Amino acid sequence: MATQDKSSIFADIDEGEVDQEDENVDRWRRNLRLWRETLAKQWRMLTDDLMVRLAMITIAFFMIVAVFAPFIAPRGPLTRQYEGDAGIIIADWVEPSFLSSESEYLLGTTAEGFDIFSQLVYGSRAALLVGLVAAVFTAGIGTLVGLTAGYYGGKIDDTLMRIVDFLYGMPLLPTVIILVALMGPSLWNILFAIIVLQWRSTARVIRSQALSLRERPFVKAAQVAGASDWHIISRHLAPNVLPLSFLYGAFAIAWAILAEAGVSFIGLGDPNTVSWGTMLQSSRAYSALDFGAWWWFIPPGICIGLVVISGFLIGRGYEEITNPELR
Amino acid sequence: MSDTGAPDVSDENPLLRVEGLQKHFQINEGLISSLLRATMGKEADYVHAVDGVSFELERGETLGLAGESGCGKTTTGMSLVKLHEPTDGRIEFRGMDLTESDDEELDEFRQNAQMIFQDPFESLNPRMTVYDTLAEPLRIHDIENETARIRRALEFAELQPPDHYFDQYPHELSGGQRQRVAIARALVLDPDFIVADEPVSMLDVSLRAGVLSLMERMTEEFNLSVVYISHDLSLLRHMCDRLAIMYMGEIVEKGATEDIIENPQHPYTRSLINAVPVPDPDVGRERVELAGEVGDAIDVPSGCRFHGRCSEYIGDICETDSPSLEQKAEFDDDREVSCHLYDSCGKQS
């Protein structure tokens, strides 16, 4: 630059010692502090609502249970408690301990001789794993695809959105069932199938946000300053759509748990893992309802309901933050 | 960054030279209609936002672009800072052709050309603090002494004490303060050239004077070349050395600000100036009211684009021949007018 001929208000700064590092604001410490402030503020707004607080306590409770499952569960979830006369298959169950004084099982046992309470405790692991992993990937992939499509527009947008259209043409549960049937019944395959279908709605919404954001003058100002595409996407677009990604992530928890329970219920669940869905499935297989063994299918049903409702409530609470008009 | 040839080049050339700048936007159409059009062999429709604009800008000079909304002044401004790729024409910055510049040249241009936007509520990222907003251009260009420069730029924009504003978010600031932050962001790179697109039109009237005097000071102290874009002629008269009046993507009259305001020659300029209210009831001005709307920018009128609304319409020539922007024999100043009312003196711009 030909700076010699022009008087600059920055001249003395540039001529001074280059080593002014001490004077410069520490970037990382500063960013950390700002992040903390923002998160603290959002946390306060979120926990302002009683329903959201209850939902969070519920999720936190199940998380603790899932983490400490081996300590809480008195027995292994898939260890037979007794052997029947016919060898392996036992069409008999023990009533919960609060119904019959002879029973030593808190929620009784299944017809296969498994301890229901232990299964319930271990089932929270599968549910939360499916819910959280699906949420992270749904929000992550959806946000990335949405931002790319919305920011670049044109052919990239067309291509990505046609893929989304294609996915929209596939019904969630039947597709997951077919994918799992093809790939084999395992928890990870169910998870994969759910993620493949779920990012579509996040991508759509984030794209529409990105489309309007990229026309905003602050993005133009960054372009004028010479910012690269990646810089604009990561610094200007992403922070402004992040609340929306969180929102879709929260809803994804609930949908994923429901889908996993549904797939497990029709018998495509992982036979080596216990989930609330597989518990419901085996109770149906042994006609627990007909025999009045309500302690077999009511507890997992309640657990599914609690976690799913909590997910929706947190999502709903977050929606009120991102969209103040809902208040 | 300073190659040895640069100072010589910048001495000879004006800071910015725009030649025949055109920007056309293709009209968005659906897949089916575009297929239909392709099979029938018709050409796509374009909005002629900017259609052949030429001017030069010297170092330290201020140029005003005026005109009704939709005349292409903002598109011109955005093309000047390369927010749009021009359809046709050349923009030279210090003798370097921007349409064919390589990455390094473009990087240098990005450091030296900045833009100030109309709406300070939209031009700052709501999730970035003042400090981060100002630091961003410095980080992009790897410039040292970040904090000291930001402090200086904020002080210059009269945001005192600067440290107080570092951690504030745009929503915590007033409109005037925001526009000052936007100006500080434009200045922090120490640019040579700024495009200011309606810089005060979104501010309260009471705040305008302060921001305008800041911009005057900035032009002076940085020896900046500024293109002001506005529909407010009294503002442009106050701020600009030269004025260019635009109508439907073309410049219809340009020259020294005082010459044009005091003695407008193009019928369109006259009607624009007549529309400015004069705070003196005794001043009787012959009012020329503009009839009708701005013409169709897709299906551009033939001949002079203003002929449908012109009060001095002189006949077929207005409808058939497109007048060129040139110096006219009638005037001895260096004004250029594109109108058939006046005789060409043979010197074309």
What number is the ipTM of this complex? 0.84
3-state secondary structure of B291: coil
Of chain B residues 218-247, which have a CB less than 8 A from chain A? 221-223
Q: Per the omega criterion (within 30 degrees of 0), is the bond before A96 cis?
A: no
3-state secondary structure of A159: helix
CA distance B184 to B169: 15
Closest by alpha carbon to B47, among B68, B29, B67, B66?
Answer: B29
| Per-residue burial over B30-59, b = 16 or more CB atoms within 10 Å of its CB, e = otherwise | eeeeeeeeeeeeeeeebbbbbbbbbbbbeb
| DSSP per-residue letters across B267-282 | HHHHHHHHTS--S-TT
What are the tokens at A241? 């759509």
The residue ranges of every structural domain in chain A are 49-76+96-326
User: What is the distance in angstroms between the Cα of A72 and the nearest Cα belonging to chain B?
Assistant: 44
pLDDT of residue A3: 40
pLDDT of residue A107: 77
Calculated CA dihedral for residues B335, B340, B341, B347, nearest 10 degrees: 40
pLDDT of residue B314: 80
The residue ranges of every structural domain in chain B are 13-247
Residues of A in contact with B60 (CB under 8 A): none
CB-CB: which of A1, A23, A231 is closest to B2?
A: A1
Chain position carrying tokens 């292409």: B72
Residue ranges for chain B with pLDDT beneath 70:
1-12, 29, 283-289, 291, 345-349
CB-CB: which of B10, B152, B156 is closest to A2?
A: B10
pLDDT of residue A5: 43
B75 touches chain A (CB under 8 A): no
pLDDT of residue A174: 87
CA distance B207 to B202: 10
What are the tokens at B81? 């800072």
Give the 3-state secondary structure of A248-295. HHHHHHHHHHHHHHHHHHHHHCCCCCCCHHHHHHHHHHCCCCCCCCHH
CA angle at A195 for the pair A194 and A198, rounded to the nearest 5°:
85
Contact B125 A236 (CB under 8 A): yes
Closest by alpha carbon to B247, among B56, B42, B67?
Answer: B67
Per-residue pLDDT tens listing for chain A (327 residues): 434 444 567 766 666 655 555 556 677 888 888 888 888 888 888 888 888 899 999 999 999 999 998 888 787 777 776 666 555 555 566 777 676 666 677 777 777 778 888 888 988 888 888 889 999 999 999 999 999 999 998 889 999 999 999 999 988 888 888 888 898 888 888 889 889 988 999 999 999 999 999 889 999 999 998 888 999 998 889 888 888 888 888 888 888 888 888 888 888 888 788 888 888 888 888 777 777 778 888 888 999 999 989 988 888 888 777 766 665
Max Cα–Cα distance, chain B, nearest Å: 66
Q: Are A189 and A271 in contact (CB under 8 A)?
A: no
CB-CB: which of B115, B118, B190 is closest to A10?
A: B190
Contact B146 A24 (CB under 8 A): yes
User: What is the distance in angstroms between the Cα of A126 and the nearest Cα belonging to chain B?
Assistant: 37
pLDDT of residue B194: 92
Cα B34 from chain centroid?
Answer: 33
pLDDT of residue A4: 40
CA distance B280 to B138: 49
B124 touches chain A (CB under 8 A): yes
Domain B13-247: CATH architecture, name and number where available: 3-Layer(aba) Sandwich (3.40)
Q: Are A191 and A184 in contact (CB under 8 A)?
A: no
CB-CB: which of A10, A227, A240 is closest to B152?
A: A10
β-strands B242-247, B250-256 pairing: antiparallel
Q: Are A9 and B156 in contact (CB under 8 A)?
A: yes
Contact A9 B222 (CB under 8 A): yes
Q: How far apart are the first and last CA of chain A?
A: 54
Question: Which CATH superfamily is A49-76+96-326 part of?
Answer: MetI-like (1.10.3720.10)
